[in-house]
A and B are shown apart, each in its own frame.
Chain A
Amino acid sequence: MAISGIVPARFLTLIAHLVITITIFWSRDENVKSCLPIQYSPDAYTAKDTELIVALSITMAFFALELVGFLSGFSMFMYTQGMISTAAHASAAVTLAYFLFDAWPCDNYWYVFGFCSAFPAVTELIVLIGVLWLGWGP
């Protein structure tokens, strides 16, 4: 099977999403502050900060799952999964760029997480289960 252009596109959008997620990890402060009221206690800040850290950490775990599924070849040539992954991570990269530069409230991150990290990870998991135990093939 010839290598179509979806393989590098999928890899690059995944890496772009990964880079922006790590950048957000390092500069969460503004995003946490913009979802708190103007007068906030340190405890409220810590609570929201921890919530954002949890969301980002689960995103990183989903990245690991997707990269393993992609680079080990399980889903590298399954074009449906490739399309889902490319579309999700490309839209995530754009949305998170706005999240970062416009200092969106940290609650909005869960929406990006749901549509653009959790969804392709779940489909990747389905592909992995299918290939390993249900005999899906090329």
Chain B
Amino acid sequence: MAANPQHRGKVQVIRSSLPYQILLYCNAWYFGFFWIAEILIYIFKGETLPYPNGVLAAEVVLLFFLGGLESLRIFFGQKGNLTERMLTVVLCIVLSLPTLAGILYILLWQTYVLRVEVILSAIELVFIALELLFGIISVVTFARATPY
């Protein structure tokens, strides 16, 4: 919010949310780590635990969907926050809901839930919760008419 004398009375206001951006950036890296860990865990579970027919394949397909969904969500969040566009961030918030359902499935409703999956999903849920909070704050900020 610096008043630069060369701007001749115009003040530049930055409305992008820095905490939101940091959360999304860290979440992108963490989700990559989470996704690779889950693939390895599914390989382990497939080899050592008994599954009914087709269930393991369904869970792995769900993991791939979750990967695509989360990538889109984080992309829209980052771009919407940086370009200060409300609708893009709203899209990110809307995409958080199926992502939340997917992560809750991994945490609670899978056929076999390992301890380490509980920890990994819990960390991801904390990320999503904080991003929902900051996303809503960002939507409110961007939706306001220009403050001057």
- Which residues of A pack against B, CB within 8 Å? 8, 11-12, 15-16, 18-19, 22-23, 26-27, 71, 73
Among candidates B22, B29, B33, residue contacting A71 with C-beta atoms closer than 8 Å: B22
Chain A contacts for B115, CB-based, 8 A: 23, 26-27
CB of B29 within 8 A of CB of A22, answer no
Task: For A12, give its contact among B22, B33, B116, B120 (CB under 8 Å).
Answer: B33
**CB of B123 within 8 Å of the partner chain:** yes
Chain B interface (Cβ < 8 Å from any Cβ of A): 22, 25-26, 29-30, 33, 115-116, 119-120, 123
Contact A11 B119, beta carbon cutoff 8 Å: no
CB-CB under 8 A for A23 and B116, given A11-B26, A15-B123, A71-B22: yes
| Residues B119 and A8 in contact, CB atoms below 8 Å apart | no
Given A15-B30, A19-B123; 18 other pairs, CB 8 A cutoff: A8-B25, A8-B26, A11-B29, A12-B29, A12-B30, A12-B33, A15-B33, A15-B123, A19-B116, A19-B119, A19-B120, A22-B119, A23-B116, A26-B115, A27-B115, A71-B22, A71-B26, A73-B22
- Nearest 5 pairs of A and B residues by beta carbon: A8-B29, A22-B119, A19-B119, A26-B115, A11-B26
A23→B26 CA distance, assembly (Å) = 22
Q: Give every chain A residue within 8 A of B123 (Cβ-Cβ).
A: 15, 18-19
B116 & A11 in contact (Cβ 8 Å cutoff): no
Neighbouring B residues of A18 by C-beta, 8 Å: 123
A31 to B119, CA, bound (A): 20
List 24 interface pairs A-B (beta carbons < 8 Å), by A numbering. A8-B25, A8-B26, A8-B29, A11-B26, A11-B29, A11-B30, A12-B30, A12-B33, A15-B30, A15-B33, A15-B123, A18-B123, A19-B116, A19-B119, A19-B120, A19-B123, A22-B119, A23-B116, A23-B119, A26-B115, A27-B115, A71-B22, A71-B26, A73-B22
Q: Which residues of B contact A8 (CB under 8 A)?
A: 25-26, 29
CA distance A8 to B31 in the complex (A): 12
The interface residues of chain A lying within 8 Å CB-to-CB of B22 are 71, 73
- Closest residue of chain B to A26 (Cβ to Cβ) is B115
Q: By CB atoms of chain B within 10 A, which of A19, A27, A73 has the most?
A: A19
Q: Considering the complex, give the chain B residue whose CB is closest to the CB of A21.
A: B119
Interface centre among B29, B33, B119 (most CB of A within 10 A): B119
Could you tell me if B119 and A16 are in contact, using CB atoms closer than 8 angstroms? Answer: no
A11 and B28 alpha carbons, distance in the complex (Å): 11
Residue of A nearest to B122 (CB): A22
A22–B22 Cα gap in the complex (Å)?
24
* C-alpha spacing A16/B29, complex, angstroms: 12
